[in-house]
């Protein structure tokens, strides 16, 4: 058994296989999941696990060079937007419809139980060197 890091074997395996510029999505419980993209569904009930809990653990284990969020988060979930902005990750803002289109290219979507609006992020893998 692992001693540190993400214990979920599916998430750990995906992160271990990522290459430079590959993307993953951390999503709230309402984001539509494209048929062609693998979904790791962690949702237990509304709010559990939270978007922030999952994001925090993934960021501890993944080199991230950039992110994408929906523009709507700025007004519909300003507290989360402020938190994401404070992370220091270059983040591109796009309309929600464009965001949903971009999820079709992700290696995986990790679905949380989050039930606050626009709590979704696309993370682009960086490199450790």
**Residue 1 scores a pLDDT above 80:** no
> What's the chain's average pLDDT?
97
When pLDDT is cut at 50, 70 and 90, the band that residue 3 belongs to is confident
pTM over 0.75: yes
Domain borders along the chain are 9-125
Phi-psi region of 88 (alpha: psi -120 to 50; beta: other; left: phi over 0): left
pLDDT above 90 covers what percent of the chain? 96
For residue 124, what pLDDT is reported?
A: 98
| Residue of 20, 81, 96, 105 with catalytic role | 20
Phi, psi of 65 (to 5 degrees): -100, -10
Residue with tokens 């990522």: 18
For 98-127, what is the mean pLDDT?
98
For residues 79 and 95, give the distance between their C-alpha atoms in angstroms, rounded to a whole number.
Answer: 18
Note the CATH number of domain 9-125.
3.40.1650.10
For 15-39, what is the mean pLDDT?
97
**Residue 13 scores a pLDDT above 90:** yes
For residue 98, what pLDDT is reported?
A: 98
For residues 122 and 124, give the distance between their C-alpha atoms in angstroms, rounded to a whole number.
Answer: 7
**Residue 110 scores a pLDDT above 80:** yes
Reference 55, options 95, 25, 75; nearest CA is 25
Catalytic residue list contains 20:
yes
For 80-91, what is the mean pLDDT?
98
Q: What is the pLDDT of residues 64-77, one digit of tens each?
A: 999 999 999 999 99
For residues 59 and 39, give the distance between their C-alpha atoms in angstroms, rounded to a whole number.
Answer: 18
């Amino acid at each position: 058994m692992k001693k540190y890091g993400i214990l979920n074997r599916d998430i750990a395996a995906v992160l271990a296989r990522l290459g430079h510029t590959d993307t993953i999505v951390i999503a709230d419980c309402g984001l539509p999941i494209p048929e062609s993209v693998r979904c790791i569904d962690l949702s237990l009930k509304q709010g559990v696990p939270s978007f922030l809990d999952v994001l925090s653990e993934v960021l501890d284990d993944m080199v991230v060079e950039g992110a994408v969020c929906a523009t709507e988060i700025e007004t519909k979930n300003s507290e989360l937007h402020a938190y994401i902005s404070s992370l220091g990750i270059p983040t591109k803002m796009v309309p929600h419809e464009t965001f949903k289109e971009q999820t079709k290219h992700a290696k995986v979507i990790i679905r949380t139980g989050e039930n606050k609006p626009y709590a979704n992020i696309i993370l682009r893998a960086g490199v450790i060197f």
